[in-house]
Amino acid sequence: MNIAKKESKRIVFSEGEDPTIIKAASQCIAEGICEPVLLGQLERIDAVKEELGLDFECETIDVRYDPRRRTTYADELHRLRGRKGVAMEDAVRLLKSTTYFAPMMVRMGDADGYLGGVSHHYPDIVRPCLHTIGPDPDSHRIVGMYMMTVNGQLMFIGDATINIYPDARTLAEIAVQTAKVARRFGVQPKVAMLSFSNFGTSGELRTDRIEEAIAIARELDPDLVIDGPMQADTALVPEIQKDYPFMAFDGPANVLICPNLSSANIAYKLLQRIAGAEMTGPILEGLSKPAHVLQRGDSVRDVVHMAAICAVDAQRQTRQRL
């Protein structure tokens, strides 16, 4: 939060009429976290603000009447997607949706970051980001991860949102990208590649894909502390680790990489609902500009936290361009 306050960034919210977003925008302004830009019908935004008893000023845009939808933004979307079957009139039509207009604002430099998802399904937010902002050419892979605080310990788990059944190369890239995000939050990553067995103890069902992924990850990032395949309790419990003195790290891992999207998604939801883990995310890593997805049903505080992460991400990208 404090880092976000050091340099103000414009964060656009595609669901600007949603009461949760409007409350979060008010808090972001009050706490100096970012300069929110709300997309939606202006009279509806004003009506919700009045109903909530909120009085604050921020930029609001009704995309239906914004001239960029039919000019510069449509030209750019047609250029990007013309060979994917998006004609000029299709681009104009797509940009009538705030879920396309908002990431296009980021691509065109009219906003520094984008948040959306409290009232949309995940693919409806991610797909336009891929079509407009696009992947970072310097990143190995687009990854969706969660940052979580469990029993006072900060940890990361991935990939819970993007890569459904990653092959060895993709799994390695997920590990490297997630570790990169952990470092950004001041965490020295200890990466555990999770599986159903420890270090190939189940000879009949060897986890070759994970073993290969570890080798690739070490090539991609020679300084990365990573080991596996291992069971989740081996990754976290020092007493169990004593049975494996050859492990690359001691003590609990802080980056947990699951073998596929299903296991990661199930794991983070169990941790959230049963263990009371405080989840932040999903954090998208690998896009060329900052964009992150909110969860349906996120609280106001969740949205404010994600706005801070998005703002800090935008600050980092600004420094990289200097």
pLDDT single digits (tens) 214-242 = 999 999 999 999 999 999 999 999 999 99
pLDDT single digits (tens) 152-198 = 899 999 999 999 999 999 999 999 999 999 998 889 999 999 999 89
pLDDT single digits (tens) 19-58 = 999 999 999 999 999 999 999 999 999 999 999 999 999 9
316, pLDDT greater than 90 = no
201, pLDDT greater than 90 = no
Q: How many domains does the chain fold into?
A: 2
pLDDT single digits (tens) 83-132 = 999 999 999 999 999 999 999 999 999 999 999 999 999 999 999 999 99
CA atoms within 13 A on the CB side of 30: 10
Range of the domain at 75: 2-134+289-321
pTM above 0.85, yes or no: yes
Inside any domain, residue 280:
no
Please tell me whether residues 61 and 8 are part of one structural domain.
Answer: yes
Q: Is residue 286 a contact partner of residue 141, using CB atoms and an 8 Å limit?
A: yes
pLDDT single digits (tens) 266-305 = 999 999 899 888 888 889 999 999 999 998 889 999 999 9
CATH number at residue 200: 3.40.50.10750
CATH number at residue 10: 3.40.50.10950
Please tell me whether residues 91 and 118 are part of one structural domain.
Answer: yes
Strands (E), the chain: 10-13, 35-39, 59-61, 113-116, 143-150, 153-158, 190-194, 225-230, 255-257, 278-285, 291-293
Please tell me whether residues 66 and 115 are part of one structural domain.
Answer: yes
